[in-house]
Amino acid sequence: MGIPKWYTISVDEKQAQTSPPNESPSSAGAAEPVYVYEYDGGLYINLTSRCPTACEFCIKFSWDYMYRGNNLKLPQDPSVEQILAQTPADLSSYREVVFCGYGESTYRLAEMKTLAVAFRARGARKIRLNTVGLGNLINGRDIAPDLGTFVDTVSISLNTVDPVQYIKMMRPRPEFRDRALDSVKDFIRACVRSVPQTVVTGVELPGVDLSGVRAVAQSAGADYRTRPILD
């Protein structure tokens, strides 16, 4: 799966477009974007479409930013108030609340914390963050202590420990490329120290040795989970 030509110009600019230049509106562009959606007993929070990677296995390209009938392509980042307006008043029936869309939620660290406090007040039993693990590079500092104050679990998508393969698979932004893999591994260790539960995940892909990913998780004291590839 290749990156669309317009993606390589600017990830941030691309995320702000309803549809690519010189292309017809997509199915995602035809539906109203959602900030909150349900899946498998959980409530998921779509904070942003900005992402520091363009993972070759990411379904946002082939699924056109749709996910099980929900348009997750945000023309701009929603406010805390907009997200709370779409969030049920009682969250106690959900297995967990998850910060997860097709973007990287750590771009909006302060908003995540504000929302987490509001979610607890609405009865949220567990709060999880799904991330590619580049939040320290995005924010220019160690954010794990911050996360430890408002999330119960951080799930980090590592996928490979081979430096060349990481660049090929994850395709991080140019300014992060040389430091990305080491930063993710540092982030895993920092989360283990600060967050109640840290989970490292690897996607089942041909030619990828996930035993190395498992070893990184275990050596850091994190849990490990293999994820099936979606297509």
Which residues, other chains included, contact 175 with Cβ-Cβ below 8 Å and sequence gap of 6+?
Answer: none
Say which residue the tokens 């690519």 belong to: 20
Q: Please, are residues 199 and 155 in contact by the beta-carbon 8 Å criterion? A: yes
Closest CA to 168 of 212, 224, 206: 206
Give the β-pairing of 223-227 and 197-203: parallel
Residue 134 is which amino acid?
L
Distance CA 60, CA 153 (A): 24
pLDDT of residue 30: 59
Q: Please, are residues 50 and 77 in contact by the beta-carbon 8 Å criterion? A: yes
Give me the half-sphere count of Cα atoms (radius 13 Å) on the Cβ side of residue 152. 12
pLDDT of residue 114: 98
What does each C-alpha distance from 164 to 56, 135, 169 come to in angstroms? 14, 21, 9
pLDDT of residue 68: 87
| Cβ neighbours, 10 Å, residue 189 | 16
Helix (H) or strand (E) holding 86: helix 80-86
Distance CA 174, CA 53 (A): 9
Written as six digits, the tokens of 95 are 């297995």
Distance CA 176, CA 231 (A): 27
**Which domains does the chain show, CATH number per domain?**
5-227 (3.20.20.70)
Written as six digits, the tokens of 131 are 């991330």
pLDDT means per 10 residues, the chain with 231 residues, are 44 43 43 93 96 91 85 94 98 98 96 98 98 98 98 98 96 96 98 98 94 98 92 61
**pTM of the predicted model as reported, rounded to 2 decimal places:** 0.88
Distance CA 189, CA 174 (A): 24
